[in-house]
Each structure stands twice: as C-alpha cells, then as structure tokens.
Structure 1
Amino acid sequence: MAPQPHGPRRALSPGRLRRTLLAALVTAALAVPVAGAARPADVPAPAPAPAAPLASASSGELAARYAAGRDAVRAAERSAEEYGARKRAAALHAMAGPGRRFLTFDGRDGGRSAEVVGDLAGADRIAVLVPGADTDLDRYARFRSGAVALRDELRDAHGARAAVVAWLGYRTPATGSTASLTPGRADQSAPALRAFVAELRAARPGARITLVCHSYGSVVCARAAEGTPADALVLYGSPGTGSDTAADLHTPAAVWAGRGAADWIADVPHVRLPLPAGSELGFGTDPLDPAYGARTFDAGPGGHSDYLVPGSTALANIARIADGQEPRHA
C-alpha cells in the first residue's frame, strides 16, 4: 500500500465507519475497470516448465531449480520485449542477472515468484517475506530490497546463517481497490503459501521459519496460518487479519504485530461488514489491540513503507524475531 499522510486520529461512530468503508468500496469498484487497460497483468508471458516439489536443499537440487527459474525469467523477458512492455522487460532483465536465485517464477498475470536471498542450503533461519498491495514484476525492486535488508540484518547483527525468500506468490491488490478491502485475494492465495512453506520445511527440517507479512500480506499469512509449518508470524503495517483474535488463526506459531508511529494504516477502521455471497468488507480487530492477543514489538517512528529500511528499529526487531530472540522495546 502506498504511503499516505498521517493525520490526527478521530473516533468514528459505527454508522460512520460503515458509510466510510462502503463509500470506499463503491469508489474502488467504479475506478478499477477504468484503469484496467494499463494493468501489469496484461503483459503476456509463457507458462513455465512444471517443477517437482523441493525435496531437499542440497546444492545440486537448488542449482537445478535456480537454473530453471532463470530460464523462465529470460523467456518472460523476451515475451515482454515482443509485446512492447519496455518497463517489464527491463525489470525482468535485472531479475535474470548473475547471482539471482528463483525457486519459482511465472511471468503471467502480473508475476509470481519466490526469490532466495542468501544461502538456503546452509540456512538455519529462513524468513519468508510476503508483500502487500501494489507489488508486481514492474515494481519488484523495492520488494527485493527489503528482502536483502532483512537478510543482511540477520546475518550481520545476529550471526545467523540466514536466507530470506521474497515470496510474490499471489496477485496483489491495488491500494484502495475492491480487492484490497476484502479477503478474497488472501483466501485464494493462502493454499499456495501454505504449500510453499511446507516445501521449505521438508527441505530444511531443522531451520526456524518465520513469515514476515506486510500490510495486505498479513491477511494472506493469517488465512494461511492454520496448517502452515512456521515458527512465527510477524504482522506489520496490518489493516487487520479478518480474524478477531490471534487464537482464531489456529496456529502454534508465535504471532507478533508491530506498526510504525507514522503509519497511516492505523487510521483504517477495524470493522468487518458482511457483503453478498458470503464475503466481508474490512479486516476486523487491530492486531495491536490487546484483545487480539498477539505479542507486540516496537516498530519505531516510520511510515507504511519504512519497516525494512536499513538501520530502522522495525528492521532490527523483525530480524530479532526471525532469529528467535525477543525484540527490543523502546
């Protein structure tokens, strides 16, 4: 979700909350079709070759997966060039560069990928980074920079043998769109995240695995939590998870929540309103509310896009949680 000004907070009545959210939903529903012609998802790409589940993190198996991933990126780059999508082609060219390691890659529908930063074969700490809204192949560089910063913090500050996986495993919603206000995309993508983490657990059975979930990505992680073999969930910049309490996630993993002092998402109404066909509008209880039951950490003074900035309080504490340590409090 893109940064917004952080203004004074005012209590809203339930009736006003309902009207505010419904107005946002209607506005988004009208706006999205108009913008549809420029969607990143429109850029074509070939289907990648099918890959068997990752059975181990041996150097040979990982090398084969990384080579297949690079081939898929290059094929998508050629397709983007032929289509005339120069921005996409440039992004893909960078993604196919030396040292880049993709466990999975699919250039269709805005892009799906899982890129490893660090040495997965030797990692005893694995963080799976799950993005929020407005993340796709055209805007991938910022997402990856956060993964690099988290890996560096884990490695340099704590001495951990760490790998971070940037998991772009779903079609992220646009900020303010209908999809960003409802859990539909999260429900659709949760099985893929659950299966991916299960692969990592099978490949590195002794590693500590942490899901690091930003904004709408926290909804994805919450929907995937039950049955996902993770040791911890870190929800940051979260609009809510669609569950009233952390216990409702039905996970033995430790659930952590943090929010920067200047993050505009604090002003999002924490309600859940029923919609037709069994869907809901809004994501309910604030994960930082004591009633939710998550463990909280100090995320510093930053805004919605500042959590993984090198040197930040938020990054240091997220890395400590991923390392199995207690975060530092202000």
Structure 2
Amino acid sequence: MVPTIIVKHGQTPKLQHGQQIKFPAALNTTEGEWDEKKRKYVYRWGTRICFLVGIERVYLVEGTTYSATAPVIEQLPAPTPAPSPTTKVRTGTFTTLAGGLEAFLLTDFYSLGVGSLGSFGTAGALPAGIPTDAERGYLRSGIFCYATAPLMGDAVLYGRSVEGFVTAHRAGGKKVQSASAVLTGYHQIDGTVSAEAEAIRFVGTTDDGIGVDQRILVEGKRILIDVELANRSPAELIDLRYMRLIDFDQPGAYETVNEIVERGRARATMAGDRVLLVGSDDPRATIGLAIAVPPTLDPYAIKALPVGTKRKGDDSIHIVFDIGTLAIGASTRFRIVIDGSAIAS
C-alpha cells in the first residue's frame, strides 16, 4: 500500500496516481492555482502553501486527507502547430478498430474529433501528434480546447460523451425518428465522414429518405456546423425537425449551469468557469434542456424555454429546428455555432 504523504509548507511532494495526501488543515479550495513561473499547481491552507506537479484538482477523502485522480506528469506548455502559409486548419481521417473511419480538425485553439457518423467524440485514439486530453487519460477527442492555461478538459468526453443529432417527421400519424449519437449507442443514420481542406464533412441518409449533409469548420474560437437536409423520399416530409444535443462538462463536475440567453442560444458555464455558447441565428431554432443521461432523442418532447431560464445540473442542451413541411426533392439549410470566445487562451 502506498503511504499517505504528509504535507509541509513550501514543499513540492511527489504525489503518485491514486495516492492520498494529508494537509495540516483543510484546503482553501480543492482546485489548484496554476503558477506559470514554477509550472506547478499551488494549494493553500490558510496562508500556507505547497506545490503539486500535474495535479489540477484533489478530492476530499476524510478530514484533511485528499486524493488525486489525475496522472502525475509534468505540466508542459500547450503545443502549438507549426504555422502554415496556406491554411489555418489541419484536417484528416484515420481508422481504428474501435471507431472505424473517423476524422479530426486541428487549429491553434481546438482539437476536434468527429466520429464515423458525424457526431463529436471519436471512439478511437487520434493519430500521434494531434493534441488530446492525454493528461486525464483521453487519447480520443471531442471538443478539446488545448491552448488554455490551466488546461481545459475535453468538453464532450467529460460530458458523458453525449453529443449527436436527430431527424424526425410525422407519417401516417406516427413519429419517425433517426438518431446519430455514436458514443451513446445510436447509429441510425448511415453515411461517411471525410476530411476537406478546412472542414470535416458527413454525408448520410436516413432509412426514410432524409439526406443529411453536414460540414464542421472553425473560425477563430467559433465552431460552425453547417447542415443541409434534403427530401429524397417519395412523399412530403410533414412536421420535419432536426435536433442537435450536447452535454458540456469539465473534469470533476458533471453539473453545468445552462442558461437560455436568446431564443435560439444558450450559455453553458462549466466547472472552472469555462463558458461555451451554443445556438443558431435561424428563426426556426429554439433551445431546450433535458437530463443528459439517458439522452432525450425526441425533438417533439423538447420544449422551448423562455429567455433567462437557468438550470444547474447534469443536463444536455438541445437545439431544435422546426422545419415544417419539406416537399419532395426540396432541401433546407441552417447553421449551428459553438462559441468559445469567452475561454482565455
């Protein structure tokens, strides 16, 4: 059994993964304060301090004894991709036994991973050299803001890996739904993911003939999801809806404060005051909230919430587009934006 470390003022104990550490008094906070000069996390009890390497947070065990669940590795400066004279974005596809054909998109701020059927979050590890939240054990990726200090955790993989999209319409008095949320087990929209020069693209078709064409690209700290739905069925699509759902979270806390700030836009304030905005300027878009696990995949069950609604919990944000009737052969387009401008880099 690994012995408990006894902390003394001004020291830097060598804390191993899973080892317990005892302080002379209760900590002011279990979140480490990053010291850029020493490249260590500072922990305080009263006016006294100690330093820990690679431990962003500790967890109370009993009394003044704490434990760390993060691996103990040196906190290195965030890597920056080499500048390119022709493009600000690097994209690519890769194949693994766990995920099949998946894709990544890398900028100087985001490392995005998109699964085989178009939802954020890969099932397989990204290729070597593409940043992931490896400090906390993730070689996969969803939405990882890697150019932050202290390091921001992957906003999708910590959110119970709940991210995806749903199409729905009514036929013969019944709801017909198809969901693509691979990491939650839904593979109902067949298609293929690919890498373009500056975007990740997914093209697929539902069993009932709805064509789905999605491109994910990045402008600065804004992730743009451009969606086109096409009616390839032999009949009109009645009460057609598209829904995108996402559960934002950060390490150590599944509770996020989600607030409706506009008719079609919500603010997610995660642990560590990490803020992402998500929504659309399209007038057909509304925002609702639902318990994240198990995910709610029925767009008709998500009700638009009034501006100012604020809820703290393990919820997912649902952006619902009420398309109405789509004629045979017709198509419609809209854009979803995930905005990380409030995140310091």
More helix by share: 1
User: Higher relative CO (CA 8 A, sep ≥ 6), structure 1 or 2?
Assistant: 1
- Higher-Rg structure is 2
Under a length normalisation based on structure 1, what TM-score does the superposition of the two structures give?
Answer: 0.31
Under a length normalisation based on structure 2, what TM-score does the superposition of the two structures give?
Answer: 0.30
More strand by share: 2
